[in-house]
């Protein structure tokens, strides 16, 4: 049986120094993702961890190695408030994949969040790794954001959006992009047509002006 623990249950139960040591140990298994998310460490220690300690809006779940209590092999950072129920970070150690740990911690995360459709985002190149979980729970791709955390990848958003002013579906986003492209092309074509018309009118005026000069007018 996989034992999913909550860091919250240790608040005020163990000495502060021991608590911080555990919280840091949990963080360290995800330190490498700072390459993709440069502010991950700052976010964890200044936002996620303090809110986990002081409020009910955030939590950190983790799994220890059953053969070594001091080793953390999986973790999930969660957020739930009126605006969103989100899995902010989700990780299972490479050597422990395929053992059902990912499934267990995702399901415990969804229980804590109170939804089977939590907002979760991932870099596009990690999609294949997450496909089994995405397909199992029917998570829907709802937004694609470029340049959000780095310039190397797009962030794929499932079950919600990261841009707060955007509640549109992915289909609506793509439709808007298509409209913008077509509009730009029309404007470019309109500009070319306008220039062409001016050229034609100028040539017409020149031809008719020449004819008028070559005619004799008899008045009266």
Structure pTM?
0.73
Tokens of 53: 């300690």
Distance, CA of 137 to CA of 39 (rounded, Å): 29
pLDDT for position 9? 96
Distance CA 138, CA 86 (A): 16
Q: Which two tokens stand for residue 74?
A: 């999986």
- 5-167 folds as Aminopeptidase (3.40.630)
Q: Per this entry, what is the length of the chain? A: 220
The residue extents of the domains of the chain are 5-167, 168-215
Mean residue pLDDT across the chain: 83
- Nearest CA to 93 among 73, 77, 75? 73
Report which of residues 215 and 94 the model is more confident about: 94
The three-state secondary structure class of 172 is helix
Q: Which of 31-40, 132-141, 158-167 is predicted with the least confidence, judged by mean pLDDT?
A: 158-167
Residues 6 or more apart in contact with residue 45 via CB below 8 angstroms: 27
d(CA 61, CA 78) in angstroms, rounded, equals 8
């Amino acid at each position: 049986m996989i034992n999913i623990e909550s860091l919250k249950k240790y608040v005020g139960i163990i000495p502060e120094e021991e608590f911080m040591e555990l919280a840091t140990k949990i963080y360290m298994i995800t330190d490498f993702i700072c390459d993709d998310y440069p502010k991950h460490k700052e976010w964890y220690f200044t936002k996620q961890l303090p809110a986990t300690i002081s409020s009910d809006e955030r939590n950190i779940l983790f799994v220890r190695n059953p053969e070594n209590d001091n080793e953390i092999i999986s973790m999930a950072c969660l957020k739930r408030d009126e605006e969103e129920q989100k899995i902010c970070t989700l990780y299972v150690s490479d050597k422990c994949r395929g053992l059902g740990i990912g499934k267990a911690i995702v399901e415990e995360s969804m229980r804590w969040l109170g939804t089977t459709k939590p907002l979760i985002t991932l870099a596009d190149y990690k999609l294949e790794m997450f496909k089994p979980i995405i397909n199992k729970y029917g998570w829907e791709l709802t937004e694609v954001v470029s340049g959000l955390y780095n310039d190397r990848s797009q962030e794929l958003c499932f079950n919600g959006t990261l841009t707060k002013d955007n509640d549109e579906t992915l289909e609506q986003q793509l439709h808007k992009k298509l409209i913008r492209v077509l509009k730009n092309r029309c404007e470019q074509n309109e500009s070319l047509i306008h220039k062409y018309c001016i050229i034609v009118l100028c040539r017409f005026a020149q031809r008719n002006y020449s004819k008028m000069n070559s005619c004799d007018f008899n008045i009266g």
